[in-house]
A = this chain, B = another copy of it.
């Protein structure tokens, strides 16, 4: 059997055996045997994307919700470049991604053909595990090890470069699954150390990050710890995935604005991190510190990124004899606000309408500021964030989340400017008939940059030249037309009532839809 299949077939069969079921694809000529091999391995679902950034963002969203990797199939160095921004976000989410990059046949690489470039250099931006498959007989093994590398705690983008001749060569061999490195268990000594800290009488804070806030068990353990001690609990600014809503312990998140974060941490003496870094500011600003906690604050890791933070929290709660009765978020029905449609009122309406077990993908940028407060009491749901700060993650991540969880509604809250980086995602939503409702906040401006312009002290820049680089008017984008052009039905709302009614209808209807909210500028 093994001598009757080519490299591509061995690769895909091995991926399937290793638990990889979906391949987000944007192939070219050098990937044609991979594409052909999909006919031989029907267990692998190939999903076409019209741009590589959609494929990589979808793989990130899939991984965050499925808890296991999808593959992506990219075409040479330029294809990897196009996919890099969302692989960056995946890296910062610790998302496992099996990143297959097709390459020229090995002898062809010596000729410096037009599409030849240094793929390894580009991949090194996002992957610590990079391998070129050099022999057809080994490509199955390479694939199995790539999956294990991707899954190995805490998860990463693992890049397998696949030369065309290795793919088309005969003699591929399906390889056995390779066991990935699991999350290490935090030992009793570390638990005891943190118990002592929490009982020291100092002002203590638990900071949860990465995938820990995704776990209701983890959040409940943190709530037990808070109930048994004087410590409080906070979540990092952009965790990989966050479980929240009615019936679930609700914790505040570190502010994006460093001024707010510094205030949040000013009294903390002992910071205990759980799959989280000590907070730093997103960007540097003149005359502002990049570190957000006081110099006097002592940081201690309860669990590092590759350790089992949820189990550590449970062990810590037990070691503290913490009560099982905890405070959880009460349901909040919300009422229709009055006034103009803006970031605040859209957030209030969304809080009224989030469906039970929805997956919310948040790239609302400046329109997201009120969302944490207006949606806390919605039915239980999961929330995905812009972990790496590279915009254009929202729509693709929604594609991947919807494929990972076909029985759940995905609500993608998407700013206008960042939507345009990967707007091709809408076509994939239509093609795959995904149950995604997209809200576009159209204020015709890069409002975040106008804010940042002030924050970096360049607020004297009020000239036409500088302002024109921050303005999305002239012409104002029409997202209902863009959606229509890609087969997604769309409506436009200019009042609170319209927004409520259109979003309610969209959420009640299966399949992709888009509601464009016309909102005023902030600045």
A residues in contact (CB < 8 Å) with B = 25, 27-30, 32-33, 35-36, 38-39, 42, 44, 46, 48, 50-51, 53, 76-79, 81-85, 88, 92, 104-105, 107-108, 111-115, 117-118, 121-122, 124-126, 164-165, 168, 238, 277, 280-284, 286, 290-291, 387-390, 392, 417, 420-421, 423-424, 427, 430-431, 448-449, 452-453, 455-458, 460-466, 468-472, 474-482, 484-487
Contacts and interface: CB of A to CB of B under 8 A. Distances in A.
Q: How many copies does the complex hold?
A: 2
A479 B124 CA distance: 36
A35 B117 contact: no
A217 to B, nearest CB: 27
Given A30-B283, A92-B114, A420-B427, 11 more contacts: A42-B465, A44-B465, A50-B472, A77-B125, A78-B84, A84-B84, A113-B282, A114-B388, A118-B124, A165-B284, A168-B286
A402 B117 CA distance: 29
A390 to B, nearest CB: 4
A48 to B, nearest CB: 5
A88 B77 contact: yes
A463 B38 contact: yes
A428 B160 CA distance: 36
The list of the 7 closest CB pairs from A to B, nearest first, reads A475-B487, A81-B84, A39-B463, A36-B461, A481-B485, A105-B284, A108-B284
Q: Which of A42, A164, A461, A485 has the most CB of B within 10 A?
A: A485
Of A28, A44, A111, A125, most buried by chain B (CB within 10 Å of CB) is: A125
Contacts of A88: 77-78, 81, 115, 117
A477 B77 contact: no
Given A114-B282, A284-B104, A485-B485, A449 B29 contact: yes
Contact of A32 (B108, B458, B478): B458
A114 B113 CA distance: 36
B286 A165 contact: yes
19 contacts: A36-B458, A38-B465, A38-B469, A39-B466, A53-B82, A78-B84, A78-B85, A82-B84, A92-B114, A108-B281, A113-B282, A115-B282, A115-B390, A118-B124, A420-B427, A431-B474, A475-B486, A475-B487, A480-B485
B479 A485 contact: yes
B465 A46 contact: yes
A118 B30 CA distance: 27
Contacts of A35: 449, 453, 458, 461, 466, 469-470
A472 B487 CA distance: 12
A125 B81 contact: yes
Contact of A46 (B27, B460, B469): B469
Contact of A39 (B113, B281, B465, B486): B465
Interface centre among A76, A390, A430 (most CB of B within 10 A): A390
Nearest to A290: B108
A478 to B, nearest CB: 4
A290 B113 contact: yes
Contacts of A463: 38-39
Contacts of A32: 449, 452-453, 456, 458, 461
Nearest to A56: B81
Among A48, A283, A468, A474, the one with the most B-chain Cβ atoms within 10 Å of its Cβ is A283
